[in-house]
Amino acid sequence: METIIKLSDINKVYTTKTIETQALEGINIEVRKGEFLSIMGPSGCGKSTLLNIMGLLDRPSGGTVEFFGKDLTGIRDKDLARFRNENLGFVFQSFHLIPTLSVMDNVMVPLTYRKGSRDRKKAVVEALEKVGLSHRVTHFPAQLSGGQAQRVAIARAIVGNPSIILADEPTGNLDSRMSEEVMQLLHGLNREGKTIIMVTHNEAQARDTDRVIHLFDGHLVK
């Protein structure tokens, strides 16, 4: 299958006045189109750092990041933001919904940064229908359960029809029933052709994905 993300010899170093921390070292990964990839490892091993680099939210200290065969490592922040908005969707453990905005407006946020986006309300309603929450458009985050909030976050991630979804512990704050619902949603999106990269501590969830990679102290472990 087609490789859509390629990381080559990725290193990430965080430096302060007194200490230098090597978060990632020598990471080489290829992600195939339509793949559901899980990233596992103990806390502090670099999983979220790796996901942020794969999601173009952070830049590596060394190495190259390619999407669709194009090296994006050195492009301007403005162009990087545009590419990210058009191609990537994000789901986080803590939902990251804006408390002062309704469900409708939270899901619409990614579309406000796109030029020429037409009929945004229709796109939002369709995304909310897909996650089973079209009846909650006027509600606010405080009026939602954890599972509902995460489903709103998934609707926000898919409203712009990205080809890749990155999920960082998407069920970490949910009970078992809500976790199962969220995973069913993610697998459904994967069956529709979305490429999904998920950081998780849940071994059972990881086993249900196409491939699992393990990190330990910033290194890939086979």
Q: Give ∠ CA 192-197-203 in degrees, rounded to 5.
A: 105
What's the CA gap between 46 and 219, in Å, rounded? Answer: 8
In this structure, the strands spanning 70-71 and 88-92 are unpaired
Query: Which tens digits make up the pLDDT trace of 79-129?
Result: 999 999 999 999 998 899 999 999 999 999 999 877 655 688 899 999 999
The pLDDT, as a whole number, for residue 17 is 81
> Phi-psi bin for 69: left (phi > 0), alpha (psi -120 to 50), beta?
left
Distances (CA, A) of 130 to 11, 31, 135, 152: 38, 25, 12, 10
What's the CA gap between 102 and 136, in Å, rounded? Answer: 9
Query: Which tens digits make up the pLDDT trace of 40-59?
Result: 999 889 999 999 999 999 99
Find how far residue 158's CA is from the centre of its chain.
10
Q: What percent of the chain has pLDDT over 70?
A: 98
pTM of the model: 0.92
Give yes or no for residue 131 having a pLDDT over 90. Answer: yes
The pLDDT, as a whole number, for residue 211 is 96
The pLDDT, as a whole number, for residue 117 is 55
The pLDDT, as a whole number, for residue 96 is 92
How many CB atoms sit inside 10 A of residue 53's CB?
24
Q: What is the mean pLDDT of residues 25-52?
A: 94
Q: What is the mean pLDDT of residues 129-141?
A: 93
